[in-house]
């Protein structure tokens, strides 16, 4: 894949049309589409309108997506399944494993609900204990789920599985997956990661981080439409993870319709039970290829610089930063609070008067730029925010 320089893409509305209309800093919610992804949707519509499946080759393209998605997280294509959202991948794990009364599931107390309710459901139905490690506030106001607490709970003899976001949606804390994964693997605990707030923004490596299962929809840092997501299952674990839903495409002789042979595929495609969200996945393919052409290390370095400038400017204006920002814990999310201004009014004022978009989450202001945003946009945001 050819290398694409950030300098050619950043601030360039012909690649990112949103730049002409909004200063958009809410990629941690639903991202705008880059032109390549919107083109993929337009091409799909035009092609399906005129020829249906006759000259399509869509499913071949989806195999290329499987390979790109695998490259993005250092998995193999055989370990990637397409899902309709993050929760579907997490539910595949929660419901596909056998549970015994008394086993424990460890998670953080501040996870997005997609990574809580599937486990609450298992706890209620199987007599499993759900342990939620709470967030703590340090003297300087930064909020974190403490790594030591997570490791101690993961280490507990009854713990079967740890379910954790790579990046927490409200604080922006990037959890130390390598540390949690290493402990899980050495103690025989399973490790399931919600990567929707990190995949496409910072490096994710399922091998070095010892991740067993990972799920992420495409609509945030992967710059894709909603409803087209990725699920990773470590190859060795497939025999113990029973597919939740089965259908025509779960089996080895998919296509030989009348010859019923319920032998599951040997790879992660066994977790896909039928027709896929082809248009959404084609757009996801275009966006992932764009991100890979830029390079995730370069994307991360750029995000570090943009969010660093934002953090410094906010502190100067008297805002309190909630996000931990150390070398191993920063992310594309900067959460902050004001002691003087009403948060809702600030979000509304930015949107209505300045066409500038940030979010309000869990009582905090949340700003999440992507690599194609510019330092000038960050400076404009800072100018528009009132001081203290």
Distances in Å between the alpha carbon of 253 and those of 191, 195, 244, 277? 31, 32, 19, 21
**Considering the rule CB under 6 A, would residue 86 count as an interface residue with ligand PLP?**
yes
Judged by CB under 6 A, does residue 114 bind ligand PLP? Answer: yes
Least distance CB 76 / ligand PLP (angstroms)? 23
Provide the minimum distance between the beta carbon of 164 and ligand PLP in the complex, in angstroms, as a whole number.
10
For residue 64, how many other CB atoms are within 10 A of its CB?
A: 13
Q: In what side-by-side order are the strands of the sheet with 334-337?
A: 320-321, 334-337, 364-367, 359-361
User: Could you tell me the smallest distance in angstroms from the CB atom of residue 96 to ligand PLP?
Assistant: 17
107 is an interface residue for ligand PLP by CB under 6 A: no
Contact between 82 and ligand PLP per CB under 6 A:
no
Considering only 37, 40, 87, 288, the residue that binds ligand PLP (CB under 6 A) is: 87
Q: Is the Cβ of residue 29 or residue 254 nearer to ligand PLP in the bound state?
A: 29
Q: Could you write out the DSSP letters of every residue in 274-331?
A: S---HHHHHHHHHHHHHHHHH-HHHHHHHHHHHHHHHHHHHHHTTPEE-S--STTT--
Q: Binding pattern to ligand PLP, positions 200-239, x when CB under 6 A?
A: -----------------x----------------------
Binding ligand PLP (rule: CB under 6 A), the pick from 159, 171, 197, 368 is 197
Among the candidate windows 110-118, 124-132, 263-271, 290-298, which touches ligand PLP by CB under 6 A?
110-118
Pick one of 92, 107, 159, 165: the residue that binds ligand PLP (CB under 6 A): 165
Identify which of residues 166 and 265 has a Cβ nearer to ligand PLP in the complex. Answer: 166
Least distance in Å: CB of 108 to ligand PLP? Answer: 10
Q: What is the dihedral of CA 210, 147, 130, 170, to 10 degrees?
A: -100
Q: How far is the CB of 201 from ligand PLP (least distance, A)?
A: 12
- DSSP string covering 8-41, please? HHTT-TTT-GGGGT-EE-BTTT-PPPPHHHHHHH
Nearer to ligand PLP, 201 or 385 (CB): 201
191 counts as binding ligand PLP under rule CB under 6 A: no
Give the nearer residue to ligand PLP in terms of CB position, either 143 or 265: 143
Regarding 112 and contact with ligand PLP (CB under 6 A), the answer is: yes
Q: Write down the residue that tokens 């949606």 correspond to.
A: 169
Tell me the C-alpha distance between 142 and 145, whole Å. 10
- The beta-carbon contacts of 144-147 under 8 Å, at least 24 apart in sequence, are 144/171, 144/173, 144/324, 144/329, 145/108, 145/109, 145/110, 145/173, 145/175, 147/175, 147/176, 147/179, 147/180
For residue 191, list its beta bridge partners: 162
Give the residues lining the site for ligand PLP (CB under 6 A).
85-87, 112, 114-115, 165, 169, 194, 196-197, 217
């Amino acid at each position: 894949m050819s290398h694409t320089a950030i300098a050619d893409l950043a601030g360039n509305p012909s690649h990112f049309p949103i730049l002409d209309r909004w200063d958009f800093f809410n990629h941690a919610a639903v991202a705008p589409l880059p032109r390549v992804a919107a083109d993929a949707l337009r091409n799909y519509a035009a092609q399906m309108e005129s020829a249906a499946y006759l000259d399509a080759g869509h499913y071949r393209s989806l195999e290329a997506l499987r390979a790109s998605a695998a490259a993005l997280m250092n998995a193999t294509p055989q370990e990637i399944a397409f899902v309709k959202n993050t929760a579907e991948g997490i539910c595949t794990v929660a419901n596909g494993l056998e549970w015994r009364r008394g086993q424990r599931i460890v998670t953080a107390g501040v996870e997005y609900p997609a990574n809580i309710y599937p486990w609450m459901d298992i706890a209620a139905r199987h007599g499993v204990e759900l342990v939620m490690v709470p967030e703590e506030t340090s003297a300087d106001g930064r909020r974190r789920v403490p790594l030591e607490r997570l490791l101690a709970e993961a280490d507990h003899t009854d713990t079967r599985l740890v379910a954790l976001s790579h990046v927490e949606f409200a604080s922006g804390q990037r959890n130390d997956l390598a540390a949690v994964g290493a402990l899980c693997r050495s103690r025989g605990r399973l490790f399931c990661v919600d990567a929707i707030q990190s995949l496409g923004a910072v490096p994710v490596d399922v091998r070095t981080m010892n991740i067993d299962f990972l799920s992420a929809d495409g609509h945030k840092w992967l710059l894709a439409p909603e409803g087209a997501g990725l699920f990773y299952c470590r190859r060795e674990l497939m025999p113990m993870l029973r597919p939740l839903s089965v259908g025509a495409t779960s089996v080895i002789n998919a296509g030989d319709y009348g010859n019923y042979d319920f032998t599951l595929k040997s790879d992660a495609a066994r977790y896909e039970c039928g027709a896929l969200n082809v248009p959404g996945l084609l757009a996801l393919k275009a966006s992932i290829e764009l991100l890979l052409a830029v390079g995730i290390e370069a994307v991360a370095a750029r995000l570090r610089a943009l969010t660093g400038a934002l953090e410094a400017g906010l502190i100067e204006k008297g805002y309190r930063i909630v996000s931990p920002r150390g070398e191993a814990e920063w992310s594309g999310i900067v959460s902050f609070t004001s002691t003087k201004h009403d948060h809702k009014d600030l979000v509304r004022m930015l949107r209505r008067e300045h066409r500038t978009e940030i979010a309000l989450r869990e009582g905090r202001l949340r700003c999440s730029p992507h690599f194609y945003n510019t330092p000038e946009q960050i400076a404009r945001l800072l100018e528009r925010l009132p001081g203290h």
